[in-house]
A and B are shown apart, each in its own frame.
Chain A
Amino acid sequence: MNADLLPLPVVFPLGGAMLAPVLARAHRRLPLIVGMVALAGSLVVLGYAVPSVLGGSGSVIAHFFSNARPVHGAALGVAFAADPFGLCLALLTAGLGLLLLLSLLSEFGGLGHREIGGLACLFQLLLAAVIAAALTADTVDLFVWFEVAALSSYGLTGFFLERPIALEAAFKNLVLTSMAGFLLFVGAAMLYTRSGALNLGQLQHVLPASPPRIELIAIALMTAGLCTKAGLIPFHAWLPDAHTPVPGAVSALFSALMVDIGILGVTRLSLQVVPQLPSLRDLLTVLGMVSAVVGALFALLQDDLKRLLAWDTVSQVGIVVVGMATRTADGVAGAVYHLVNHGLFKALLFLCAGAVVHATGLTNLSELGGLARRRPVLTVCFTVGSASIAGVPPLNGYASLGLIHSSLEEQPVLYGAAVVAQVLTVAALARAAYLAFYRHRDEDYEDLERPHTGMLISLFTLVAGCIAFGVLADPFVRHLAGPAAAGLLAPGRYAAGVLTGTHDLAALPVEFSYGDPATIFPALGELAAGLLLAAWVVRAGAPAWTATLRRIHTGSVNDYAGFAAIGLAVVGYVLAR
């Protein structure tokens, strides 16, 4: 396809965001229709790019704004490039965004026209930012979309101003994300001053094999900023708070799509800009593994259903970053695939949680229960989502986790930690499903609202997606994750693509076979151990030492900023040592 169409998938939702508040004055349904049309338009344009980007062994195509093509390898303007990885994420964003917008606006169709216009506007701005971040090949352009996403996320977090905790969450989100934004910006500007390059491909060419300390500090600042958006521990503190008070579809948007900006940024930085730095790889492995284990542990201890799912996002992001940091074909392909799968099942789970909160008015697991008999459809959806995360074959989590775990087999410590994280994840989700849905509850709910049609359509599509991405794992891995990994692991070819306009990738053989005993037996073992752990926690309660751990997470914004400052110091020390 002609690469000059690449800005359109961003332009459509931006236009929709501008139109929504205006059209909402005429009729309350119009923002929904405009948003759906805009995102469907993005999806069509991106789908049109699929044959040329994902076809064959994959290729990179680039569009240069104002036709400022690079001269002698020096970029003169901003470039948008579709490599298989970016295109996968952009497609996921447009598709999931369509479903989430449908679900959100059908749930809140009763709001006033100003509110519904604002909600649709912020939602589409955030989606446009994620699509643009997936396609951009420029450090400062990445920062701009980071800020667009950040500003709209502040608005969405604090949208329901009548809930005081929404304000609290918005404030914490503002403090941590605005710090992260400025770190990213200063890092990008420092890199530009030293190397004269903003384009990722050009940066990769001009940065020497062992960069001087100032470049390393700049990379450390950028890494810290992007890790905040991704929600890696210790930069994560805004994430569980921001997910708790917002509607289910907005949490789903944050978890399934917004954190991808951070993951995408650190991935591109570590694999495509400075692949020569082993310290960055080791740092991301450690941060990712700590996030995976601690996030899953905190998820197991939560009482609020949405907060539990948000902590699980911290854990899943950690596993994805570990997979990316392995820099092996299996690990990176598994991580890309897991990122897509995480989008699907986390969106499904947050929509279910949102529907439960909407129907019952309760958020705490200790007060819920008995929904299996009263809301069988929601129960099936939640169970499919949990089983996908838990890696039950043949659902999608099984395939991607299998690939990531198999790439860690030669490092016993990492493999062990990944298994622990997975056992804790299974336990957390099993406990949530039991307490909210399967547990017996005698007294009836006061008034149990019915889920809306739009929400049901979204839920069923996501369930179908979770099953399809699991059953058809082999073609997806070979034609989607394989080329994506090929682009990420061949930085020279990506750089050539974004500097010349088009470049083919070399095929990277990645395969996934279902019945491999090295994948299936550990997965079943983790499932059994996780279920046992969940039963034990439900019966005996959490052990006392976990209360101390939770007390460290004080909820004070000063301490959260302190965690991030410690993280920044660690990242800086490890990289610029």
Chain B
Amino acid sequence: MIVANYLAAFALFTLGLLVVLGRRNLLKIVMGLSLMESSTYLLLVSLAYRHGSTAPVYSGRKPGTTESGLAHGNVADPVLQNFCLTAIVIGVAVSAVFLAVVVRIAQHYRSIDADDVRELRG
């Protein structure tokens, strides 16, 4: 099941990369990058999954209980979930900057085709 997550994350990343490489519309490039970012969210959450382990922070346990008995089920690593939240926050901030730049480009160039926005070259 978790393998499916990794494959989905890889597929999302590849799709995003193909959009960034193949589409000239700047908005679509931004959407492609968002797709790549969402693949990292999926990957981070999937990496956090710990099969048959206990919550990492606790102090001692009652006599007669076992470590695996403490956590009824599977636990996720909170550090990686935290990373996922960080990634989402950064992704939102970057998307906002991206869209602001695209809006200004559209105002100045009257076009959002990447081929019209290539004065700097060589």
Q: Is A154 an interface residue (CB 8 A)?
A: yes
Measured CB to CB, the nearest residue on chain A to B115 is A556
Contact B40 A185 (CB under 8 A): yes
Cβ contact of B108, chosen from A167, A179, A186, cutoff 8 A:
A167
Residues of B within 8 A of A178 (CB): 33, 37, 94, 98
Interface residues of B in 68-92 (CB under 8 A from A): 77, 79-80, 83, 86-87, 90
Number of residues from B at the complex interface, CB < 8 A? 41
B121 touches A168 (CB 8 A): no
Establish whether residues A554 and B118, one from each chain, have CB atoms under 8 Å apart when the complex forms: yes
A245 to B108, CA, bound (A): 15
Closest Cβ neighbor of B22 among chain A residues: A558
Q: Which A residues, 520 to 568, have Cβ-Cβ distances below 8 Å to chain B?
A: 550-551, 553-558, 561-562, 565
Contact B98 A161 (CB under 8 A): no
Check B20–A151 contact: CB distance below 8 A: no
Which residues of chain A come closer than 8 Å to B23, judged between CB atoms? Answer: 558
A164 contacts which chain B residues (CB < 8 A)?
105, 108-109, 119
Interface residues on A, range: 35 or more
Partner of B122, one of A140, A144, A190, A555: A555
| B47 A167 Cβ-Cβ under 8 A | no
Evaluate whether A161 and B104 lie within 8 angstroms (CB atoms) in the complex, with A168-B120, A185-B83 already known. Answer: yes
Asked if B1 lies at the interface with its beta carbon under 8 angstroms from chain A, I say no
Interface centre among B23, B33, B40, B118 (most CB of A within 10 A): B118
Task: Identify 5 new A-B residue pairs, CB closer than 8 A, beyond the known A140-B83, A175-B29, A551-B122.
Answer: A164-B119, A189-B47, A190-B47, A556-B24, A565-B21
With a CB–CB cut-off of 8 A, which chain B residues contact A513?
none
A151 B105 Cβ-Cβ under 8 A: no
A158 on interface, CB distance cutoff 8 Å: yes
B47–A147 touching, CB < 8 Å: no
Q: A164 vs B115: C-alpha distance in the bound complex, in angstroms?
A: 14
Residues in B with CB closer than 8 Å to A248 are none
Which of A151, A168, A189, A565 lies in contact with B97, CB distance below 8 A? A151
Please list the residues of chain B having a beta carbon within 8 angstroms of any beta carbon in chain A. 17, 20-24, 26, 29, 33, 36-37, 40, 43-44, 47-48, 77, 79-80, 83, 86-87, 90, 93-94, 97-98, 101-102, 104-105, 108-109, 114-115, 117-122
Interface residue from B17, B87, B120 paired with A241 (Cβ < 8 Å): B120
Residues 42 to 81 of chain A near chain B (Cβ within 8 Å): none
CA distance A154 to B122 in the complex (A): 22
Interface contacts (Cβ under 8 Å), in number, total 118
**In whole angstroms, how far apart are the Cα atoms of A9 and B88 in the complex?**
28
Q: How far is the CB of A288 from chain B (nearest CB, A)?
A: 23
In the complex, which residue of chain A has the Cβ closest to the Cβ of B95?
Answer: A178
**Nearest Cβ in chain B — how far from A510, in angstroms?**
39
* Most B C-beta atoms less than 10 A away, residue of A181, A189, A565: A189
- Alpha-carbon separation in the docked complex, A144 to B82 (Å): 13
Q: A174-B98, A179-B33, A182-B36 are in contact. Are A165 and B120 (CB under 8 A)?
A: yes
Question: In the complex where A164-B108, A551-B122 touch, is A565 in contact with B83 (Cβ < 8 A)?
Answer: no
Asked if A301 is an interface residue, CB under 8 A from chain B, the answer is yes
Alpha-carbon separation in the docked complex, A557 to B47 (Å): 32
Instruction: Tell me how far the C-beta of A159 lies from the nearest C-beta in chain B, rounded to whole angstroms.
Output: 12
* Chain B contacts for A198, CB-based, 8 A: 79
Which of B37, B90, B102 is within 8 Å of A171, CB to CB?
A: B102
Q: Which residues from A are CB-within-8-Å of B98?
A: 171, 174, 178
Q: Across the interface, do B94 and A174 meet the contact criterion of CB distance under 8 Å?
A: yes
| B122 adjacent to A301 (CB under 8 Å) | yes
Q: A164-B119, A557-B114, A565-B17 are in contact. Are A192 and B29 (CB under 8 A)?
A: no
Knowing A181-B90, A182-B37, A190-B47 touch, does A555 contact B80 (C-beta < 8 A)?
no
Q: Which residues of A lie under 8 Å from residue B120 when comparing CB positions?
A: 165, 168-169, 172, 240-241, 244-245, 307, 555
CB distance from A139 to the nearest CB of B (A): 11
Residues of A within 8 A of B79 (CB): 192, 198
Residue of B with least CB distance to A181? B90
